[in-house]
Structure 1
Amino acid sequence: MAEETKLNPFPSGVLTAEHEAQIEKIRSVFKRWLPAAEDSRKKVDGAKEQLQSVTEDLKNLQIDAPYAYSPAPPYIFRPILLSCTKTYWLAVIAALSDDQKKEMAQRLNCIPPYGKRVPQFDGKRCVEQASELNDREYEGIMRCAMFALINLLPSEVVRFWRELSEVGVQTWEERD
């Protein structure tokens, strides 16, 4: 039970059992990938091999419908990162009250676009049509949501998003 609590930062009853299972599956890989990447940067013995192994796990991670992003772009990591982002974003929206959803929409509207990676968000659309966003919107949310979430949801949810952002920016294929 304690491990489930660590993997799923949302209050009990907010998400369906299916949604919780997807989040736990994703986060279990992230919680292995992040320390392996850090150890690899520090050149710890065996870390390179560990990172390769857990990167394979990330690459092979399967997210079930309706959380999987579709259509999957023709890259190795983008499809899984977009699916992880969609899964996490739907969880965030489910956890927000109506007033918090309005606040989230306003916060997203205030995020300035940045090159090809962060679009000008339509906050209302991102909140009200959370499952129907395009790849650019989900990518931008992957990169920015942790900042927009501060003081809206518990700090564990912000840490949860930081993990996604860290894995995402380190594995996202930049070629377009």
Structure 2
Amino acid sequence: MTLITAVLGDITQQHVDALVNAASREMRGGSGVDGAIHRVGGASILTQCISRFPHGLATGDAGWTTAGDLPAKWVIHTVGPNRHAGETDRSLLASCYRRSLEVADELGAATVAFAIIGAGAYGWDLDTAVTTAVQTLAASPTQVREVTLVTPHDDALRTIEAQLLRA
């Protein structure tokens, strides 16, 4: 069984096997979590994104690169659905978590840190984003021993902790 916990903090500072990046479809860096991971991790992450994913990734899919200068081994990049662009299918949001765990299993990652995918610039309301994250992570078969949900916001931490109590 996978232990799921929540922490208030910076995802780029998590000492885990893999960090999950809420990436853009193009896989070329961006703002928010994506921009922070690329800034802190360094140019090697972008170089690998370009070579490994020349056409980017589909919404709901995931792929990996090494972690560059981050305190992790790998970055798992996943593309969340953008509600502002009309991508309102919650199953695509759930797919981000399932596919990320599948990639983590392929890599042999035992510890994985996730941001709450879709709850920022992509417009998903926090309750839906957190509920989808916790329910999907709890129900998905995986060899990952520990998942940490990381947020820099107190209100999001309280929402995650409340959902974890219900799970």
TM over 0.5: no
**Structure with bigger gyration radius:** 1
Instruction: Please give the TM-score of this superposition, normalised by the length of structure 1.
Output: 0.28
Instruction: Tell me the TM-score normalized by structure 2.
Output: 0.29
Q: Comparing both chains, which one has the higher relative contact order based on Cα–Cα distances under 8 Å and sequence gaps of 6 or more?
A: 2
- Flag the structure with higher strand content: 2
